[in-house]
Amino acid sequence: MARYLLRRLGLLLITLWLMSIAVFVLTAVLPGDEAQIILGQFATPGSIAALHKQLHLDDPVVVRYLRWIGGFVTGDWGTSPSNSDAPITSLIPDRLGNSLILAGSALLVIVPTSIALGVTAALRQNRLSDRAISVGTLSLMAVPEFITGTILLFVFGVSLHWLPTDSIAAIGGSPLASPSHLVLPALALGLVFFGYVSRMMRASTIGVLESAYVRTARLKGMPRHRVLLRHVLPNALGPTLTVVASQVGYLVGGLVVVERLFNYPGIGTLLLGAGLSHDVPLLEDCVMIIAVIYMLSNLCADFLNAALNPRVRFGTG
């Protein structure tokens, strides 16, 4: 297990390093002059040149990259020009915490429900309930998140007035202070991948149910619930956990639409604002933070998968 985790950790670090290069190159080729955008269209050439020198924009690309990645690793993330030169370390934690709360709320409700439905569909394969679950989950996979969010907002917020139409009144407010404000954005966020998790769990469970060791356990007279808990679920959960983990980074940083729709101050809206204002330091740091979360979630999924299935960590399956 230790060797397996060390290999995965090494691959994670290499991937993050390549990701940092890609992020830096992509932000470097963005149209527009960063100093010109910060100072405005009426800035004089002298002031632009001075800001270039202050921000080290005229340094060689390799030097700029090493300075940025070194500062990111050591916690020196610089300042955000679009936020009155506020330290980026004071901007990201609150927004990231809000996004993690939203993603955690969605996972807490959607993952157990989708896994239970996937197992139910597998145990009742080709019956009416299996077909109903399959059609429902497939329909959810086909609906974009902005349509799902808009429908939830209109039905439960505008028409029925059961839930608030926005998430938090102020950026500095905590989502946990008013849980009712989290319901609609969490549902809109979770329903995006509900179908993926449910269908993966169904397919994995069917594959395990048809395996030789499950048939042997049944022939030995082992009760059905013991077969399900001891043999089926531990082996079927591995691929499903991988799907869930692969969606965590998307939940935290990818659903800018949901955060904008419900006026939710998460890291996704912070990333969007940084892109629109050409705030390169903030943009780079937000993308890297999301990448780190994405990689760590996949590492956790690999660890759980290996713990549940010894064939993975020993390289035999």
Contact between 166 and 181 under an 8 Å Cβ cutoff? The reply is yes
State how beta strands 79-80 and 86-87 pair. Answer: antiparallel
Delimit the domains of the chain by residue range. Answer: 2-79, 89-313
**SS3 call for 274:** helix
Question: How far is 67 from 284, CA to CA, in rounded Å?
Answer: 13
Which residues fall within 8 angstroms of residue 56, CB to CB, at 6 or more apart?
A: 63, 64, 67
Query: Model pTM greater than 0.75?
Result: yes
Query: pLDDT at residue 10 above 50?
Result: yes
Lookup: tokens for 258: 């949901």
Query: pLDDT at residue 316 above 60?
Result: no
Assign 70 a pLDDT band (cuts: 50, 70, 90): very high
pLDDT of the residue at 317: 45
Question: How far is 87 from 99, CA to CA, in rounded Å?
Answer: 20
**The CATH number of 89-313 is which of 3.50.50.60, 2.60.200.20, 3.40.640.10, 1.10.3720.10?**
1.10.3720.10
Which residues fall within 8 angstroms of residue 55, CB to CB, at 6 or more apart?
A: 34, 35
Residue 168: CA count within 13 A, CB half-sphere: 19
Note the pLDDT tens digit of each residue in 194-248.
888 898 899 999 988 888 888 888 888 888 878 888 888 888 887 887 778 777 7
